Structure 1
Amino acid sequence: MMKKVTIFAAIAMTMVGCSSDELVNNSTENNEAPIAFSVEKKNISRGTALENLGHYNFGVWAYKYKDGLTTQKVMDNYLVGYSNETIKKGYEHSGSTTWASAIGSETDHTSPWFYENLGTSEYKYVGTDGYYTKNDGAYMSANANQYLRYWDLAYKSTNFYAYAPYRATGVTFDENAKKITVANTAQVAGYDNPSLQEFMYAGAQATNAELKDVKLNFKHLGAQVNLRFYEDVRGYRVEIIDVTDAKSGIQATPATKSGDTYTKADYYTSCGATIDFTNISTPAASVNHTDAEHTQNNLKFLIPAGTKDDLTTYTSKLNTNYNVIPEAVTSGTQNYAKSSTVYYPVAQPENSEVGFTFHVSYKLIAEDNGEEVTVHNARVYVPAKNGSEFIAAWQPNTKYTYTFKITKDSKGTTNPNDTTIDITNPDVPADPTVYPIVFDGATVEDYTIQENGSNF
């Protein structure tokens, strides 16, 4: 599994003479079988079903081959869709003769994944159950019709060149070069919607005579970014709050750093790519950023918001309730609070020098008496690279988990009237700016001399 975990403590922060649409090479011995698919997803979440991650479609080109026979196209950017009848997710499946509620054996030719009748002139669903409707253009096919395809036993093998999520435009395939080209408009960054982001690719070669359903194992063209937190402030519990105002969340400002100077910078929000299927089972992807979109806007993440984000309910000595992040442990398993926001960025250039200044605010709640101290805009800089390791210069097929430890040495402010807070400013103070209460020596004043004389 490709995964980067980085800890930051400073936050404290297919037939000549025949249409390809016809039933191909029917057998009189009952050997005909439709081409069907099952799908897995590898690497970032090894073995996790594609649909379980919110992906309900992929695109595929298919060509059949045999020495001495003309190569034939079988599928031309077909939309393959998933249908979950129980929770009404994906595509409405009433037009498909191969649909089944679950993936069965490799040769039963039924599956929750189907492509029959998913052409734009065929798919008619406009209901409200939750399936994609024909008006959901981003999820519709580039083809007017999509017909059920059958294994042609006159040919030796069929290659499948696949990608996800499906794009009616912006993704093309050259069979001579065995390459998929992805326009930068088709590979874009985003939050919380892997059905439109988190671009992937897969290749497979099937032996036609085996009549087995096609399994595709996808790899990621982009990356994934996650945030998590814990704290190590003795005598206090910690609650993450919005950076400045409600709904502003946790934010990250793109910047470069030279010495102690921080400069706002662009990061790419789209990229082009070429996927080479010369080796069909292990396709290779390369990205490019020619004419790609870029921005200096902050990345924004929701703050951890409850037990689903691994927070703990805590009642202070003043009977005030908080949702606090886990404390540091010296032995056993360290637990973390996490942001529910998952960011799917496009891959950045390997020579990128752009990192991010993260801005986080939090409350310190004293365990002994319930005193509360609010720390605004604690900051830490995450570099593009650390030596040869990519940290914020995100690379393909890699999951980045940024772990922040809240410590006593915070670079935030406890002044509620601080007018200098700017969460688009990448600067990080050189020294901690949240100060402990200390006693600097103690002296005893001389007694005041009071004299009084009396006579007996």
Structure 2
Amino acid sequence: MMRKTNLFAVLTAVVALTFTACTNIEDVAMPEQKVLDFSVFANKNTRAAETGSTLKTDGKAFGVWGYSTFETVDTDVFLNQEVKYNGTTSAWEYSPLKYWDTRSSYEFYAYYPYKASGVTIDDNKNITVTDFTVEPLVANHVDLMLADKVTRLANAPVNQVTFNFNHLLSNINLSFKKDVGIAETKVTLKTVKIYGMSKKGTFVQSQVPEWAISDTDLVGASDSNLENLANDNVLDVATTVTFNDMLFIPQNTNSVKVDVTYNLGESGAEQPFTRTLDLSYDASDRTYNPAAWGQNQKITYNFIISANAIEFGDPTVEDWTTTIPDVEVPSIN
């Protein structure tokens, strides 16, 4: 690819509607140069772990590819450039700084979170994320996102370049409460474990984006100790205990299950119960379950714990029956 000699405008990125560009004293704006600022946010039409506000956390970073065209000359501006949020300065920073020429047109592509390897872009500007792996602990789950392409025409008015990120994973949530029929019974949720889904896959962007998942790397297939989501949660009728924002690779639910253990009764007199709940779809039995988890889709499974107490009815007493003749014993002398 031919290289152009023009300078490119300083690029800074922020997650806000108002912000300050980050420059240093050596940067000099030439007559045909303008400061280029980035703004990023997560698609507000979906609810997930990351939003425009949560992205503004120290150390979080996204990757950027950027290309410019001047007349017939194309130039690489950014090649998987890390742009990281600095909590001290409240700014998105990267190095080295770049400049742009207002006479050039631009295209920008971005993804989150940044990775030094394993994420590539092809000649058609489609991004591939190879062997993305879901972490074992839900607290460490990552909201993998891809931004819409941003373009700027040559000589166009300079304004913010806003990255609109969309979620590539499925947001799975579990919700538990007890049935009104056992309102007076104490229900303690002891353990909740979800397993049977693929934890590794490769995302390929195209006209129809798709995931190629591993059929062997399953959560729970070799894990000797699955994460217990519950922690002795006491259930109520009016409120729910929820386990939110579990971010998994989009896939079918053929093997997905949830193990639940809970106690009924007051402390010292609890009775334990264990249940395995099948989250797969079945046309004759479990039509309420989705057959697959979709990309950029939030799914909440609602569970209600019910019980039938062991009760005793009024006893009955059978009449006496004589089944043998009276016994004549010898006289007692």
Q: Per the shorter chain, which TM-score range?
A: 0.7 to 0.9
Correspondence for 1:250 among 188, 192, 210:
192
- Whether 2:241 is the aligned partner of 1:337: answer yes
- Whether 2:217 is the aligned partner of 1:293: answer yes
Q: State how far apart, in whole Å, the 1-side matches of 2:3 and 2:287 are.
A: 53
- Whether 2:237 is the aligned partner of 1:327: answer yes
The one-letter code sitting in structure 2 at the alignment partner of 1:362 is Y
Paired residues of 1:20 and 1:74 also in contact (CA < 8 A): no
The one-letter code sitting in structure 1 at the alignment partner of 2:60 is Y
1:300 aligned counterpart, secondary structure: coil
Specify every segment of 5 or more residues in structure 1 that has no aligned partner in the other structure, as ranges. 1-13, 86-92, 94-100, 102-111, 116-145, 243-248, 255-266, 279-283, 306-322, 329-334, 410-435, 448-456
Paired residues of 2:61 and 2:112 also in contact (CA < 8 A): yes
- Whether 2:321 is the aligned partner of 1:439: answer no
Correspondence for 2:303 among 404, 418, 437:
404
Paired residue for 1:226? 173
The one-letter code sitting in structure 2 at the alignment partner of 1:355 is V
TM-score, scaled to structure 1: 0.55
Paired residue for 2:46? 44
The one-letter code sitting in structure 1 at the alignment partner of 2:93 is F
TM-score, scaled to structure 2: 0.73
Identity percentage of aligned residues:
26
Q: State how far apart, in whole Å, the 1-side matches of 2:215 and 2:67 are.
A: 32
> Which string of whole-angstrom CA distances, capped at 9 and with x for unpartnered residues, describes residues 284-340 of structure 1?
5211136873452565342156xxxxxxxxxxxxxxxxx622205xxxxxx31123x
Correspondence for 2:198 among 246, 263, 268:
268
Paired residue for 2:142? 197
2:80 aligned counterpart, secondary structure: strand
Paired residue for 1:431? none
Q: Which has the higher strand share?
A: 2
Paired residue for 1:167? 115
2:54 aligned counterpart, secondary structure: helix
The 1:20/1:400 distance shift into structure 2, 3 A limit, reads: farther
Paired residue for 2:162? 215
Q: State how far apart, in whole Å, the 2-side matches of 1:383 and 1:289 are.
A: 17
The 1:199/1:292 distance shift into structure 2, 3 A limit, reads: farther
The 1:384/1:58 distance shift into structure 2, 3 A limit, reads: farther
Paired residue for 2:184? 236
Paired residue for 2:280? 383
> Which string of whole-angstrom CA distances, capped at 9 and with x for unpartnered residues, describes residues 78-110 of structure 1?
00111222xxxxxxx5xxxxxxx3xxxxxxxxx
Paired residues of 1:385 and 1:391 also in contact (CA < 8 A): no
Q: State how far apart, in whole Å, the 2-side matches of 1:297 and 1:400 are.
A: 26
> Which string of whole-angstrom CA distances, capped at 9 and with x for unpartnered residues, describes residues 164-189 of structure 1?
11110111112x312112211xx111
Paired residues, number: 293
The one-letter code sitting in structure 2 at the alignment partner of 1:354 is S
The 1:439/1:23 distance shift into structure 2, 3 A limit, reads: closer
CA radius of gyration, larger in: 2
Paired residue for 1:149? 98
Correspondence for 1:70 among 66, 69, 73:
73
Between 1 and 2, higher relative CO (CA 8 Å, sep ≥ 6) is seen in 1
Correspondence for 1:359 among 256, 259, 273:
259
